[in-house]
Amino acid sequence: MSTAHRQVPAGTHRVLILGAGYAGMAAATQLAARTRRADVQVTVVNAQERFTERLRLHMTATGQRLAELDIPELLAGTGAQFVRGWVTAVDAHAKTVRVDDSRVLRYDTLVYALGSVTDTAAVPGVEEHAYALDGPSGATTLADRLARLGAGTVVVVGCGLTGVEAAAEIAERHPQIGVTLVGQQDPGASMNPKARAYLRGALTRLGVQVITGAAVTRVRPDGVELAGAETVAADVVLWTGGTRVAPLAAAAGLTVDERGRVVTDSALRSVSHPDVYAIGDAAAIRQGYGVLHGTCQSGMPTGVHAAVSIARALRGRQPRPFRFGYYHTPVSLGRNDAVVQFTRPDDSPRRGCLTGRMAVWYKETVSASPWPTYRRMSRLPSSGALWPRGGRFTRLRDAR
């Protein structure tokens, strides 16, 4: 159950965190732990009380039951409050956030972590005729449709990691269904030749047909149209091609990039409004090798760093620059197969990779439920925090 947003004593610093995904929850639990002795109120706003494991939505979409992760229960005992509701407006000048068009919450520091959703507006027909994996509700609806489909056909649009995992999972769980994966790039295009060949071989073994070099120009009730007027028939279309962010940041006057993401400085503060931190998929965070792309691997560290930075600022110290390097790309190929591509910090592939059962074990270890990690964060002393990276733990620098 949501906790009420209580009145706070004068002099209390109000930190409002919008979004309770991987990045938002990392920020909330870390900041609550680091400020529990200070006059700081941490409040998390999210549309649902259930925590969404986006990394596992392809499992929900094939009828597999996942653990029910409850956000208020996770925050219990941390000192952070929870408010359930849709964020409908941000007033960066007045430092207020409107929730459900009926409540106004005030802040001194804002953490913008509203994430992203599948871009269903870029191609005609997607919103009307395709499924997307944005949350448990949509994934469950797709699972119900697949269970009734019989020996039909499914087209998965998008050869990125979400598309590959979804196509493999559907083919394994529903072997009577014909699955076609359609995209402009080859599956595993960013991997080294060995990992890419293994991934493609696994899709072949599962019976997934792959069509590459193809841009989908329209989704119809009975399939998809490709550039050049070719049509691929389908009873069900799953769209995984591209993401978009909410227009709230741009409407609030924050500086955003061409995709609507909040542009940040090196400490993850908005370049136009330094009392606003942006993390996760909703932020355009530049490193030496380019702008981070949205993943749990980078999202949770941005949440931790924002919490550390806010705690430092409240103590009168300057935040440190955020530095992040990628470590791996784990990809499920059904429940009993996987491939893990180890990467350089800029996400380019290294020679090393894991395949088969070892890759399954590795992926399940490093992408297990974040619940235990959040619990560890909420109990840590304010002097530091253990942080998982690539299956290992490293110690963050002292935030004091």
Q: Where are the domains of the chain?
A: 13-116+245-324+369-395, 136-241
Locate tokens 């330094």: which residue?
Answer: 274
User: Cβ distance 95 to 106 under 8 Å?
Assistant: yes
Q: Considering the domain 13-116+245-324+369-395 in this protein, what is its CATH number?
A: 3.50.50.60
Looking at residues 156-160, what average pLDDT do you find?
96
Residue 79 φ/ψ region, left for φ over 0, alpha for ψ in the -120 to 50 degree band, beta for the rest: left
Confidence class of residue 378 from pLDDT cuts 50, 70 and 90? low
Residue 242 pLDDT: 87
Asked if residue 106 has pLDDT above 50, the reply is yes
Confidence class of residue 50 from pLDDT cuts 50, 70 and 90? very high
Residue 107 pLDDT: 98
Looking at residues 283-294, what average pLDDT do you find?
93
- Both tokens of residue 248? 């709230």
Contacts of 39 (CB under 8 A, 6+ apart): 9, 11, 12, 13
Q: How far apart are CA 107 and CA 97, in angstroms?
A: 8
Confidence class of residue 66 from pLDDT cuts 50, 70 and 90? confident
Q: Considering the domain 136-241 in this protein, what is its CATH number?
A: 3.50.50.60
Looking at residues 178-190, what average pLDDT do you find?
96
CA distances from 192 to 178, 226, 248, 344, 352 (A): 28, 28, 39, 12, 9
Angle between helices 371-379 and 22-34 (to 10 degrees): 20
Contacts of 146 (CB under 8 A, 6+ apart): 61, 62, 63, 154, 170, 173, 174, 177, 236
CA distances from 13 to 42, 266, 398 (A): 9, 23, 21
Asked if residue 273 has pLDDT above 60, the reply is yes
Of 326, 372, 380, 336, residue with least CA distance to 357: 336
Of 116, 136, 147, 128, residue with least CA distance to 237: 128
Query: Which amino acid is it at 283?
Result: A
Same fold, 13-116+245-324+369-395 and 136-241: yes
Residue 371 pLDDT: 61
Asked if residue 376 has pLDDT above 90, the reply is no
Contacts of 14 (CB under 8 A, 6+ apart): 8, 40, 41, 43, 106, 107, 108, 109
Query: Which amino acid is it at 60?
Result: T
Sign of CA dihedral 25, 26, 31, 36: positive
* Tens-place pLDDT, residues 88-97: 999 999 999 9
Asked if residue 53 has pLDDT above 80, the reply is yes
- Both tokens of residue 166? 């979804």
* Tens-place pLDDT, residues 348-368: 999 999 999 999 999 988 876
Both ends of the chain: CA-CA distance in Å? 34
Residues β-bridged to residue 178? 153
